Amino acid sequence: MRPEAIRVTGLRKSFGALEVLKGVSISAREGDVVTLIGGSGSGKSTLLRCVNFLETPSAGQIVIGGEEVLCRADGRPKDRRQIERLRQSLGMVFQQFNLWTHKTVLENLIEVPVHVLGLPKEEAVARARHLLDRVGLAQKEDAYPAFLSGGQQQRAAIARALCMQPRAMLFDEPTSALDPELVGEVLAVIRSLADEGRTMLLVTHEMRFAREVSDHVVYLYNGLIEEQGPPEQLFGDPQSSRLKQFLKSVT
């Protein structure tokens, strides 16, 4: 069996008195596309952010590539350097593209590989060009983000994440901020990553896409997993009345 890339067990997260995640467990083996669906406020982003340590879990265990994240008794990370290292192994793509606006596309891609990882610049540039070509932006390496469409910016953001050669990709509603006519070009890139066997956790409201690309789908409701399963089952034969209602509301 393929090794586990990401495992989350009993994850809880509270913001003050508000408990947003109430004990969530998910797992992705290498090459799996695991998709999180659910209504606004159900905890999807918080879950991804905890996997990437942008949020500190209140309780639970996170294991990345077989390595358990070490926590203190109060749940805070024990080892900052471990967190940095593991975070670098996960490529995160947000709804808002988050490119550095004062850097060109190429500079966006090589910044962290060169200045944080210490990769020789020529190597980083070669890697970046290869990835820009893959996402259809070979002609745009000298452009500033403001001169790109939303779809181009998001493809650049995906290429930037890939430049770190991540173990897995985390996508949080990567097409939600795009004009409808630009959604397809970004989904095509994500689909090509899935097809080449990349591991990913994906949050999306694109249900048709989720059905086609996912190995496993998790429906979150109010901080808990309400239902999960293979896409044919979850979309084709949902059991929970909440999930049925949700699917009606988004399709």
- Binding site residues, ligand ADP, CB under 6 A: 15, 18, 20, 38, 40-46
Shortest distance in whole angstroms from residue 13 CB to ligand ADP:
8
202 forms bridges with which residues in the sheet? 35, 171
Nearer to ligand ADP, 97 or 221 (CB): 221
Question: How is residue 35 written in tokens?
Answer: 């998709």
Nearer to Mg ion, 104 or 204 (CB): 204
Nearer to ligand ADP, 15 or 100 (CB): 15
Shortest distance in whole angstroms from residue 217 CB to ligand ADP:
15
Question: How is residue 205 written in tokens?
Answer: 């409201």
Q: What is the dihedral of CA 147, 152, 158, 159, to 10 degrees?
A: -70
**Residue 204 interacts with, from ligand ADP, Mg ion, none (CB under 5-8 Å by kind):** none
Residues 6+ apart with CB under 8 A from 218: 26, 34, 35, 36, 37, 225, 228
**Residue 38 interacts with, from ligand ADP, Mg ion, none (CB under 5-8 Å by kind):** ligand ADP
Nearer to Mg ion, 124 or 243 (CB): 243
Sort strands 199-203 and 216-221 into parallel, antiparallel or unpaired: unpaired
106 forms bridges with which residues in the sheet? none
Nearer to Mg ion, 13 or 127 (CB): 13
Interface pick for Mg ion out of 35, 42, 45, 204 (rule CB under 5 A): 45
Distances (CA, A) of 11 to 23, 121, 126, 199: 5, 39, 39, 20
**CA 82 to the chain's CA centroid:** 20
Per-residue burial over 189-201, b = 16 or more CB atoms within 10 Å of its CB, e = otherwise = bbeebbeeebbbb
Shortest distance in whole angstroms from residue 41 CB to Mg ion:
8
Is residue 42 a contact residue for Mg ion (CB under 5 A)? no
Shortest distance in whole angstroms from residue 122 CB to ligand ADP:
40
Residues 6+ apart with CB under 8 A from 178: 150, 151, 154, 186
Per-residue binder mask for Mg ion (CB under 5 A), 105-124, x = binder: --------------------
Question: How is residue 154 written in tokens?
Answer: 């998001």
**Residue 40 interacts with, from Mg ion, ligand ADP, none (CB under 5-8 Å by kind):** ligand ADP
Shortest distance in whole angstroms from residue 48 CB to Mg ion:
8
Shortest distance in whole angstroms from residue 46 CB to Mg ion:
8
Shortest distance in whole angstroms from residue 156 CB to ligand ADP:
23
Is residue 46 a contact residue for Mg ion (CB under 5 A)? no
Nearer to ligand ADP, 50 or 114 (CB): 50
Sign of torsion over alpha carbons 44, 183, 231, 51: negative
Binding site for Mg ion (CB under 5 A): 44-45
